[in-house]
Amino acid sequence: MNSRRLACFLLGLWMGGALLMAWAAAVSFNSVDRVLDRPHPVATSQFKALGRADARLLLRYQVAEQNRWYFEKWETAQIVMGALFLFFVLFATRKTRSCFS
């Protein structure tokens, strides 16, 4: 396989992962309202005891912490992918170009 095609494919996967993370973060906050609108029967009594505003605040905090964890892992994955991509471009490509040409 051509190394340029593989490099473009890897960059596309990377960009796709970034878009997936942005989408997941946006959608996860919408899930709080969905859970409060149609709660599980076991959770209904807990939500009533808290009140809707406090239950929403607690669930949004949980979602924010979950998103923080996802972004932390994504950051680590991007550092690894960036290092691997750099080494791939440096050592796997056949064409060598001078910096001065």
Domain assignment of residue 15, yes or no? no
For residue 53, the one-letter residue type is A
3-class secondary structure per residue, the chain:
CCHHHHHHHHHHHHHHHHHHHHHHHHHHHHHHHHHHHCCCHHHHHHHHHHCHHHHHHHHHHHHHHHHHHHHHHHHHHHHHHHHHHHHHHHHCCCCCCCCCC
Domain assignment of residue 78, yes or no? yes
Domain assignment of residue 23, yes or no? no
Asked if the model's pLDDT at residue 98 lies above 90, the reply is no
Residue whose structure tokens are 């209904």: 44
Domain assignment of residue 18, yes or no? no
Domain assignment of residue 66, yes or no? yes
Q: What is the mean pLDDT of the chain?
A: 87
Domain span including residue 81: 41-89
For the record, the structure tokens of 41 come out as 């029967």
Calpha distance 73→88 (Å, rounded): 22
Domain assignment of residue 1, yes or no? no
- At 54-97, the pLDDT tens digits run 999 999 999 999 999 999 999 999 999 898 888 888 887 666 55
Domain assignment of residue 71, yes or no? yes
Give the chain's domain count.
1
Domain assignment of residue 97, yes or no? no
